[in-house]
């Protein structure tokens, strides 16, 4: 084989390896704080619907549409970023009677298993850590899709809604309520996760 032929073969192999590396990395995303939403709903006195959100979320996920069973997610929420559009109520919820954000500044979910379902959703099992307590939970995740957006790069979207018993994690609120049940123990959690390949994606760019 002539030298020029060998050079061409080597160059072709290197290009193939690099392309494969790019394809693999394209399945790895950072969760965007600016584009994601973490909300919750509870009922007060069993009839009044109260809603709130956490404004600071971060994490990483791996998702390949060709191999969804290999997906992983590690998501962290800053508990002090709680916002119910009521400063007095937010102070109570941040206190040691509820989230105790000074002792437990974050809550975290880490997946352990992902199984594709016939309806194209994903059955995700993992561990939720809240208020210093870790418990296994199972959620159904809808894949909104994967696309490419100028100045953002690769973008993937996911949604899930699930319920937890706040008292199972020690979020009781008994002192504030005088021991009576004012806020439902059942909490509905809704996550709309936007994940991008661009680690430098900023809040200003999100406004474009």
Q: What is the pLDDT of residue 178?
A: 58
Helices (H) then strands (E): counts for the chain = 4, 11
For residue 89, the SS3 value is helix
By C-alpha distance, which of 109, 138, 125, 91 is closest to 38? 109
Higher pLDDT, 112 or 176: 112
Domain boundaries, the chain: 27-206
Closest CA to 28 of 76, 75, 73: 73
Q: Which residue has the higher pLDDT, 207 or 57?
A: 57
Determine the average pLDDT of the residues in 25-47. Answer: 90
Mean pLDDT of 58-67: 95
Residue 83 has pLDDT above 50, yes or no: yes
The beta strand positions in 55-184, using DSSP E, are: 57-62, 72-78, 82-83, 106-116, 122-130, 133-149, 153-165
- Read off the pLDDT of residues 132-160 as tens digits, 9 standing for 90 and up: 999 999 999 999 999 988 877 889 999 99
| Kind and range of the H or E run holding 62 | strand 57-62
Residue 191: helix, strand or coil by DSSP? Answer: strand
Residue 132 burial (10 A CB sphere; 0-12, 13-18, 19+) = exposed
User: pTM for this structure?
Assistant: 0.81
Tell which CATH classification among 2.40.128.110, 2.40.50.100, 2.40.160.210, 1.10.1520.10 matches the domain 27-206: 2.40.128.110
pLDDT of residue 153: 82
């Amino acid at each position: 084989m002539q030298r020029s032929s060998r050079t061409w073969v080597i160059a072709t192999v290197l290009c193939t390896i690099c392309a494969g590396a790019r394809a693999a990395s394209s399945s790895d995303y950072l969760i965007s704080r600016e584009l994601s939403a973490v909300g919750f709903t509870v009922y007060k006195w069993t009839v009044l619907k109260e809603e709130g959100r956490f404004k600071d979320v971060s994490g990483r996920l791996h998702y390949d549409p060709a191999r969804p069973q290999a997906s992983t997610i590690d998501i962290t929420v800053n508990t002090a970023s709680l916002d119910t559009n009521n400063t007095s109520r937010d102070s109570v919820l941040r206190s040691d009677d509820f989230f105790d954000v000074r002792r437990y500044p974050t809550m975290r979910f880490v997946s352990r298993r992902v199984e594709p379902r016939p309806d194209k959703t994903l059955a995700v099992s993992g561990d939720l850590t809240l208020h210093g307590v870790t418990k296994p939970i199972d959620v159904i995740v809808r894949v909104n899709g994967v696309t490419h957006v100028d100045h953002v790069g690769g973008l993937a979207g996911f949604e899930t809604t699930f319920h937890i018993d706040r008292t199972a994690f020690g979020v009781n609120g008994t002192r504030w309520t005088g021991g009576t049940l004012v806020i439902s123990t059942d909490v509905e959690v809704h996550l709309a996760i936007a994940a991008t390949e661009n680690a430098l994606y900023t809040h200003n760019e999100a406004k474009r």
